Amino acid sequence: MFHTHKNIIKETNMTKHIRTSVFETNSSSTHSLTVCTKEEYKQFEDGELLINWDGDFVLATKKNKDNEDYKNYEQYFNGDSLETFSKEYKTKSGDEIIVFGKYGYDN
């Protein structure tokens, strides 16, 4: 579970910690969120682009395919025990984007 809060107040050993505009997750879980254009996602599906854990796309060259830091579509969505999701959106300006990612506990 993750939460986006304007202000987060935590009391630890009678001390208050206030953090402004943070994104917080349960530290024992994993979350990954990537936003890309519909065209980039199609290239990813078709094997023309690979992705790394930071959500960066690179061209699917022989060198990159041999680099275990980069995953193809199949490896990304089926290569571990994490849950995955993808959803298509249309922005107010008419751009078609895809939001996808992983979440759960990485065993």
3-class SS of residue 30: strand
Which two structure tokens, joined as six digits, stand for 72? 């193809």
The answer to whether the CB of 72 falls within 8 A of the CB of 47 is yes
Q: Shortest CA distance to 56 belongs to which of 75, 74, 78, 36?
A: 36
Radius of gyration (C-alpha) of the chain in whole angstroms = 17
Give the per-residue pLDDT at 23: 57
Which residues are registered as beta bridge partners of 97?
37, 89
- pTM: predicted TM-score of the whole model, two decimal places: 0.70
pLDDT at 53: 80
pLDDT in tens, 9-46: 444 555 555 556 555 655 667 778 899 999 999 999 99
Residue 3, pLDDT score: 42
pLDDT of residue 2: 42
What's the confidence (pLDDT) of residue 30?
75
